[in-house]
Chains A and B, each alone.
Chain A
Amino acid sequence: MSDDTKPDDSPALHLRALSKSFGKPAVDRLDLTIRAGEFYALLGPNGAGKTTTLRMVAGLLPPDSGSIAIFGRDALRDPIAAKRVTAWLPDEPMLYDKLTPLEYLEFVAGLWGVPPEIAEPRADGLLATLGLADDARSRCEGFSRGMKQKVALAGALIHDPKLLMLDEPLTGLDAQAARLVKDLLRERTRRGCAVILTTHILEVAERLADRIGIIQHGRLVAEGGLADLQAQAGGDGSTLEEVFLRLTGARADRAA
């Protein structure tokens, strides 16, 4: 964990009136607050603005307006300090095919300034946990998509981030690996890490998330636990899928 993390009560992530437009608004005055140790699922139809939001928080896209605070730090004014406690895992794993997982983790640890004596055993541990120990010295170029996804996840965790953002992290994973990743993420939140995850697998959000946010046309249309969302959608006992379809304006029968 980075020494730069303030041991205060600042939310892990605080977005205020965040906006980004690509001709038409992709994210439109979005307000969002996620607490430390919280598992937050950000749901929305394709093109709703989920990935754009995460990319802005990760420092890849400058917002048109609004603010981003990560553990109380202004991510737009001091991006380096914000990035030090953040990890972003995109839906397409960003790896170097010619590096081995161990070399990749060494690289990531170096970028985030993790001391070798901490990084090295941590890398071994992560690779073992994710079932990659036997492949630790094979180049990633021959890996399946799921294996690459696991290497990328190990890279996101090697510096022990306080805010972990995952864009469709379960894509390409088999059932066993998906379970492993879910357990790993849950364990991270127990240790105080805030996890924000986008997924189209609503069952994952339903089972894992402390709170769920539904975004559409770049705006948060509903937020809360499943019970809150059911209440907002006006249908107690509905599944998250039904709630999601109702809140995003689509009819379940049409979507099916």
Chain B
Amino acid sequence: MRPAPATFLWFAAHDLRLARRRVRAFFGSSGPIKIALILGAAILFFHALAFLALDVALEDFDDGRRALYPYVGSAALFILPWIVSQALTNATRALYSRGDLDIVLSSPMPARPVFAARSLAIALESILSVSIFVLPIANALAILADARWLTIYPALAASGLFGTAVGLILMLGLFRLVGPRRTRVVANVLATLIGASFAIGIQAYGIASPATRMAISEWLAGARAGGLLDPDSIVWIPVRAAAGEPGAIALWCGASVALFLAAVLTLGDFFMRGAGAAIGSERREAPARRRLTRFRAGVGAALRRKEWRLVSRDPGLASQILLQIIYTMPISVVLWRAMGPNGSLALATAPALVAVASNVSASLAWLAISSEDAPEFLATAPVSRREIERRKLEAIALPLVVVIALPLAFVWSAGFRAGLVTTAYVAAAALAAALLNLWHPVPGRRGDILRRHSQSKLVAMMEHMLSLLWAVALALTAFGSWSAIVPILCAVFLLWTQRPKAALATA
């Protein structure tokens, strides 16, 4: 039965259909059977992983659930910020990417059901993004330890509503605080930082001085005994809810639903007004008196300046680079620890820097080559395609240097040889990533940079492999091992297999 038009349920069904299509778009052009097979395989894989890991881990825990609280708590510290981050990103996208908002805003539908349905769809998307990892653990815990762990299901749903409410409040708070023009960029960066907060925290702890770590440990010990981190304190309610404590689950679900409803009921009108304000927010004026543009001569200058301007004005790029840096930095911490007491953090940073350079170069190359806004216009210019591509690759070098200059200078501070070798690896990794994107363009819209890998799994896999190989090669070089030649040769061979001639032959 279809819900009556212009009701909350009707609009929710509409939004769920759009959300389902977004999820499906993640799988590119794969058909429903292939998607089902991929999802089925992923579900089986994560279940197998959860059963294997927990089967071994649970042997050490005699006193079932409470002993697992710190681990579930750690997982919650990762999952909740992730949901908030997803909600913040999706809510910002809903506000700025327009989609059907124009027609909805011009319709006689009241704001509240529209906003409620859209918020619910955001919550569902956020929950789905973590369920594939979390629910297999719940099932494994329920079978191997205690069936009450199945309450992870409602606890996760409640977390989705809670995190979405927080994300919506943050986004609309930003809208009021920094204005419609800056909200999109600030929200993207904030979402990245929130989503990676757990990883950032672990890394910060890892690179802190022994004295700081001691102080943190002492504080944690104090907080555990009757303080904020005591399992009976309010902070642990989501964890106790996940573990199946009836009072906690009622409280966590109730509080989450209440916060979600409060956010939806109070912010609906504000969201719709915000959507109206976001329409004109793109209009940006340069200072009136100063002439900003001085024309330069030549194709190279034209393409360079155009690419630099577009890159510097890209709202998604900053957050993606930040994300890449955050998720790559653990390599530094691991290496630093492996180097022992005399290890240099600057040297340990080098392999991570190579990986970052590779990833950032790939992103910039994708922006310049694949997400060109006016490819047909360029094709009408009296410049060969080869020259345009060459100039574009030249153009992305500067933004790349801007991103890596400071950490590279840090590596140089460890010594001339270290600096020189790292610079050579950074250049090789960046060039390889750029060439891969040049040889295998994956057309997409500039705004889809965060989802660019969903278009071509092959390019995504190659990019990651190249990045890893160069980073491993430099790590081995840092340890003075001749075996560094192996990943270098692998990277060169991998790139060679992807050269245009080979791509044409296999096409």
Contacts and interface: CB of A to CB of B under 8 A. Distances in A.
Interface of A: 58-60, 80-81, 83-84, 86-88, 90, 94-100, 102-103, 106-113, 115-116, 119-120, 123, 137-139, 141-142, 155
Nearest to A86: B380
Interface stretch (B235-243, B298-306, B484-492): B298-306
Given A94-B374, A95-B374, A116-B296, A83 B306 contact: no
A94 B376 contact: yes
Given A83-B381, A142-B283, A96 B302 contact: no
A125 B433 CA distance: 43
Contact of B285 (A106, A109, A110, A138): A138
A116 B297 contact: yes
A111 B280 CA distance: 31
B373 interface: yes
B382 A138 contact: no
B293 interface: yes
A87 B439 CA distance: 29
Contacts of B285: 137-138
A87 B381 CA distance: 8
A60 B374 CA distance: 12
Given A94-B374, A96-B310, A98-B310, A110 B380 contact: no
B302 A111 contact: yes
B286 A123 contact: no
Contact of A103 (B282, B288, B309, B373): B309
14 contacts: A59-B380, A83-B382, A99-B309, A108-B302, A108-B381, A110-B299, A110-B305, A111-B382, A113-B382, A116-B294, A116-B295, A137-B293, A141-B282, A142-B281
B284 interface: yes
Nearest to A115: B297
Contacts, number: 112
B501 interface: no
A90 B379 CA distance: 13
B314 A107 contact: no
A110 B378 CA distance: 12
Given A80-B384, A84-B382, A111-B383, A90 B299 contact: no
A107 B282 contact: no
A80 B383 contact: yes
Most buried by A among B281, B306, B313: B306
Contact of A102 (B293, B310, B314, B376): B293
A96 B286 contact: no
A137 B382 CA distance: 27
B57 interface: no
A96 B373 CA distance: 6
A86 B379 CA distance: 12
Contacts of B293: 100, 102-103, 106, 137
A193 B315 CA distance: 41
B314 A98 contact: yes
What's the dominant secondary structure at chain B's contact region? loop
Ranked 3 nearest A-B pairs via Cβ: A110-B302, A142-B283, A116-B295
Contacts of B280: 142
Contacts of A100: 286, 292-293
A109 B295 contact: yes
A107 B373 contact: no
Contact of B302 (A81, A90, A94, A109): A109
B416 interface: no
Contacts of B309: 98-99, 103
Contacts of A94: 373-374, 376-377
Interface in B424-459: none
B376 A60 contact: yes
Given A96-B373, A141-B282, A113 B379 contact: no
Contact of B283 (A86, A99, A139): A139
Nearest to B315: A98
Contacts of B310: 96, 98-99
A113 B299 contact: yes
A3 B2 CA distance: 68
Contact of B297 (A86, A107, A110, A138): A110
B295 A123 contact: yes
Contact of A139 (B282, B297, B303): B282
A109 B310 CA distance: 18
A60 B298 CA distance: 23
Given A113-B299, A119-B295, A58 B306 contact: no
Contact of B373 (A88, A97, A102): A97
B273 to A, nearest CB: 18
Nearest to B375: A94
Contacts of A139: 282-284, 313
A141 B301 CA distance: 23
Interface in B365-424: 373-374, 376-384
Interface in B272-291: 280-286, 288
Contacts of B297: 110, 113, 115-116
Contact of A110 (B281, B296, B313): B296
A138 B280 CA distance: 12
Contacts of B282: 97, 139, 141-142
A138 B293 CA distance: 12
